[in-house]
Amino acid sequence: MEPGRGGAAEIKDGREKQVWYLKISKLALAFAIIHSKPRGKSCREYTEHLAKTVSEQDFGWKSKVEALEAEVLRLRQELLLHKICPRFCLENGKPDASAETLLDQECINPMSYSSQLEDSGCDVSNDYAFDSLGVASDFHQSEHNVSASKYWLERVPPLNLCCTSKGESLRAPVQFLQHLLEIRKLSEGGVLQADFTELENDSFTICNSVSELLDGLIVFYNSPEFPFSNFLTEAVCVLINLITDTKLSNHILKKCFKKLEEFKKNLIQIILRNSSINRFQKLHAISHTLVLLGRNNILRNSLIALLLSEVRQFAEQLLQAYQIQAMYDITKFENIFPLCMILEQLLQNETEESNVSSSGYDGEEKNKFLKNLDLIILHLSDEFPLFSLYLWRVSVVLNSAQIQID
């Protein structure tokens, strides 16, 4: 026998035995179903009933596992907060006196959401204020809505949590990150001693908490409901405070940068794919979340690169469709304008800041965007004047940014 021939034969023989065993098992299962089938039910109906029963049992186990995983994460969150700030715990049922005094001085009032509009959502005027999300012009005051810690929650009006599973999925990460922000705030004021290097030692907890927050926000933004719930506003405020905080943002970006990049891509795709009639207010709200993410310089550079790529690709597709007189995606055409507005605003913010640099978007994506742009605008200006105008405005801001850099 040739070398290796025996091993191949054994493998073949083993596979044949597995196939035979599988056939025998299926046959035995079929006989068992026929034998135990109740009267008045066909074999097919009884088989479908058994399959449904087994799937329900599997779903029950899955729910139990998810509940246990959530409880483990909650306990790890409490432990991490205690490591960062040991005075986080209750002492005889009362909060620390100095922290209590500081909180008495804070103006903790629920944000007003009465400005959330409930009309058809077809108003696309530029004067639509993103204050409908409660995080626009008074964004920096949103930190006053962050509760202090587990025991301080009794002193602060509870969050207006949704009764839906979407709200429940956001409850734990939002409250944990709120507590983290408040400890950071009180430690900065000298009221509490906190060691945020512990975040480096427990990357699992911080990564999972931020991931749950981002996944929950995507679920909300994919929902057809509008106006968004008040709890979504709280979650957005927490996210923006995290990435703009001078100390916490470095930890968050280091551990969760890929997840934040995925989050931005998902928001952009939600904007582009939305085809509902009354979608424009919702798109403005999502757009403003992207603008707020651009408050962080690192996220802003990558976000600008993403937007440049999306707008450039659509402009090229539109030009190709126009040249061969083919159909183009009307929904994507209508939804590309919010992306152009986000891009222009982020570029203006970048230009106005003193730390403008040539890193990030000022590389390959910028060159790709500006390449043949004049030709694209020239061909599209008659048929698509508004889109051509937006392309020109973005190119002007890009060039002005480069002039300032030089």
Query: How many structural domains compose the chain?
Result: 2
Question: Is the same domain home to 229 and 369?
Answer: no
What's the average model confidence in pLDDT over 233-249? 89
* Residue 226 or 201, more confident: 201
Do residues 228 and 92 touch, judged by C-beta distance below 8 A? no
Separation CA 110–CA 118 (nearest Å)? 20
φ/ψ (deg, to 5) at 369: -65, -45
* Residue 359 or 230, more confident: 230
Q: Which residues contact 277 (CB under 8 A, 6 or more apart)?
A: 120, 122
N residues, the chain? 406
What's the average model confidence in pLDDT over 143-160? 36
* pLDDT at residue 93 in the model: 33
* Residue 403 or 289, more confident: 289
Question: Is the same domain home to 238 and 306?
Answer: no
Do residues 238 and 209 touch, judged by C-beta distance below 8 A? no
Q: Is residue 28 assigned to a domain? A: no
Separation CA 341–CA 347 (nearest Å)? 10
* Residue 254 or 338, more confident: 338
Q: How confident is the model at residue 290 (pLDDT cuts 50, 70, 90)?
A: very high
* pLDDT at residue 398 in the model: 87
* pLDDT at residue 60 in the model: 66
Last residue of a domain, one of 230, 257, 284: 257
Last residue of a domain, one of 257, 273, 307: 257
* Residue 350 or 272, more confident: 272
Dump pLDDT digits (tens) for 83-105: 888 876 533 333 444 444 444 44
Q: Residue 64 pLDDT more than 70?
A: yes
Question: Is the same domain home to 237 and 309?
Answer: no
* pLDDT at residue 270 in the model: 94
SS3 state of residue 274 = coil
Question: Is the same domain home to 349 and 244?
Answer: no
Sign of CA dihedral 115, 116, 119, 120: positive
Q: Is residue 266 assigned to a domain? A: no
| Amino acid of residue 96 | D
* Residue 250 or 163, more confident: 250
Separation CA 396–CA 277 (nearest Å)? 32
Q: Identify the top-confidence range among 70-79, 333-342, 355-364.
A: 333-342
Question: Is the same domain home to 304 and 247?
Answer: no
Separation CA 206–CA 252 (nearest Å)? 8
Stretch among 20-29, 119-128, 223-232 having the lowest mean pLDDT = 119-128
Structural domain boundaries enclosing 145: 60-112+126-257
The H or E element that residue 368 is part of is helix 364-370
* pLDDT at residue 351 in the model: 76
* pLDDT at residue 122 in the model: 44
* pLDDT at residue 125 in the model: 41
Dump pLDDT digits (tens) for 369-389: 988 899 999 999 999 999 999
Q: Residue 66 pLDDT more than 90?
A: no
What's the average model confidence in pLDDT over 332-337? 94
Question: Is the same domain home to 140 and 217?
Answer: yes
Stretch among 25-39, 272-286, 356-370 having the lowest mean pLDDT = 356-370
* pLDDT at residue 405 in the model: 53
By the 10 Å C-beta count (0-12 exposed, 13-18 middle, 19+ buried), 21 is classed as exposed
Question: Is the same domain home to 223 and 360?
Answer: no
Question: Is the same domain home to 236 and 327?
Answer: no
* pLDDT at residue 380 in the model: 93
* Residue 160 or 56, more confident: 56
Question: Is the same domain home to 304 and 159?
Answer: no
Separation CA 148–CA 141 (nearest Å)? 15
The closest alpha carbon to 282, from 211, 329, 240, 220, belongs to: 220
What's the average model confidence in pLDDT over 71-92? 78
Averaged pLDDT of the chain: 75
Name the percent of the chain lying above pLDDT 90. Answer: 30
Name the percent of the chain lying above pLDDT 70. Answer: 72
What number of helices (H) and strands (E) belong to the chain? 14, 0
* pLDDT at residue 97 in the model: 43
* pLDDT at residue 139 in the model: 40
* Residue 226 or 2, more confident: 226
Q: Is residue 310 assigned to a domain? A: yes
Q: Is residue 390 assigned to a domain? A: yes
Question: Is the same domain home to 203 and 302?
Answer: no
Q: Is residue 385 assigned to a domain? A: yes
What's the average model confidence in pLDDT over 12-31? 78
Crossing angle of helices 203-222 and 230-244, rounded to 10°: 140
Do residues 241 and 169 touch, judged by C-beta distance below 8 A? no
* pLDDT at residue 166 in the model: 53
Q: How confident is the model at residue 281 (pLDDT cuts 50, 70, 90)?
A: confident
Q: State both tokens at 115.
A: 């400005």
* pLDDT at residue 137 in the model: 40
What's the average model confidence in pLDDT over 308-314? 94
